Chains A and B, each alone.
Chain A
Amino acid sequence: MTKTAERHPVKTAAVPPVQAPSPVGGRGRRRLADQARAYAFLLGGLICFALFSWYPAIRAVVIAFQKYTPGSSPEWVGTANFTRVWHDPEFAAAWRNTLTFTLLALLIGFAIPFVMALVLNELRHAKAFFRVVVYLPVMIPPVVSALLWKWFYDPGAGLANETLRFLHLPTSNWSNGADTALISLVIVATWANMGGTVLIYLAALQSIPGELYEAAELDGANLLQRVRHVTIPQTRFVILMLMLLQIIATMQVFTEPFVITGGGPENATVTVLYLIYKYAFLYNDFGGACALSVLLLVLLGAFSAVYLRLTRSEGDA
């Protein structure tokens, strides 16, 4: 029983055991009853985590090495799923698209909110208005944003080309052209998601002590130098955190390509998650889908580990 106390040295120190007077039974029975009660509280949550988080993670790895068809017993096939998936021409396209998407989303979808937050932080009027408006697209269901932009990108009467015509600029194929499709989707994702990034970064900017800017200005630093030598170092951790979160989120992009382009034209917008979906629900190849999932999992798990490491170490500091 003292083991429990050792296991949670911090907690025991923070919360000394509240011993209600225990007329019947010894300490041992009392402890057992406490444990039973603790697990009664935990049970429902634990079952859900076990069934829908822990078990699927294990199962993904197992099925990745099996020929799996729902309803019949699975067969072990070694690494056949991985080799089959690897030789699928869509495999390379999906990874290339996903990585390009992530990189573009990092360049566009990170730079724009970053500058926007910097500017918003300097404005002294209509603060609430800006925050509400920039976050509005986040609250619009992603499916609606995707359908909305699909309509904007319509080569005929779509708003995107109408605007270009109005400005006497050459029109574009947007999501319908093989070389513009991916960037068109990045624009949609940026529009739909940047509200969160702006708000979080804005909060970080507000925590920078004003004296630092004053000192920098006294030292003769101009605006850009102040951004470079005060703002960025002071918010370095939040920048890094937001970047990693963005990478993890965009590597799992599905809704935009599924709704707007259907993976086309010429596989230009097939993403890894889209390919997983296709393997499972179009080809009925769950082994292949799980092999792909495992690959995605390993890569994203590495990013997530870095992210957690960062948040953890910052918390200690």
Chain B
Amino acid sequence: MGSVLSRLYVGNGAFDIVGKRLRWYITSSIILLVCIGSMVFNGFNLGIDFKGGTKISMPSVSASGQSISTGAVEDAFAKAIPDKKPTAVQAVGSGASATIQIKSPALNIQEVAALKAGLTQDTQPQGGQSAISDSAVSASWGGEISGKALWALFWFFVAVTLFLAFYFEWRMAVGALVAVFHDVIITAGVYSLIGFEVTPATVIGLLTILGFSLYDTVVVFDKVKENTRGLLGLTRRTYAEAANLALNQTLMRSINTSLIALLPVIGLLVVGVGILGVGTLQDLALVQLVGMFVGALSSIFIATPVLVDLKMRDPKYIAQARRVAARRAKGSGPQPAEGIESADEDALAADLRKEEAYAAAASVPHRTAKAGDARRRPTGKRQR
């Protein structure tokens, strides 16, 4: 009964996440420091899109069915363009998609054409010259994409802050933004630490993590909002406890949504790495995998605790917390926080009445009551 799984499943507030928030703050501060340190001192492993250069990819199987060695490709390169050297020649991918990737400093159109002709002649790849792909990127292109991405990031923050502040309240907007910053920095830090190659696709992926991380946080905050409606008038629990309850109630949902979002990304990664070897799919999948994982954690361990800390600076909530403490001290001791219960019954009832009115307005004929309807259990709840 008390297993972690069943506590997760039931979601009755068994995990004291908000109460132990200092622990999460310290943990995440340390991780953040490591990440920032790595970004500052280690930098990133930037792909050719940021440095400029040419990338050639060709089938690694020759027309006669033999595999082409990277050595043969290097020789052909040296023969075709004697005055330049490839920076890397590697075999990637598997099966029919196995290719040889050549990276080199920027080549001009003539050199690329000469190289392709040379490669075709010397290594005889399957499909001939038209099977060889090339991509040349100027040094400023990656910078341009990233520059735009940073602008996108900025405007995204502005738009989302406005949305959250309007839809929830400014404290929630701040909590959500702190969590998102946390995600972006840690994801970038992981890239810097491990030395994964940063490409424009990585930058794209990083941006979409923001959306996802916020998505998760919004789901939690929605429940927090619901649980704390009318809280000030009651002495049952403090804001922190109500928020913690909301966290627990949405914990399974958070885990589920994160898992489900991660599953397709895992599919992407498997295909990206296993079949194609390199490229957009792999880059996107990797950054999302890291980002979504961090994002799920931060919406639980960072966003809500930050929100609680901000809320508890409000004298009204401090006073309310005191009243709760006073009642508990004088009363029957700490009442076990009741598992599932919402403070927004009235709001829900109003919504439901509205629905009913709509249904009526849409001339939905009322169903004749069936016998089943009378078989109501005595739940003690209001009958409708």
Q: Do A and B make up one complex?
A: no
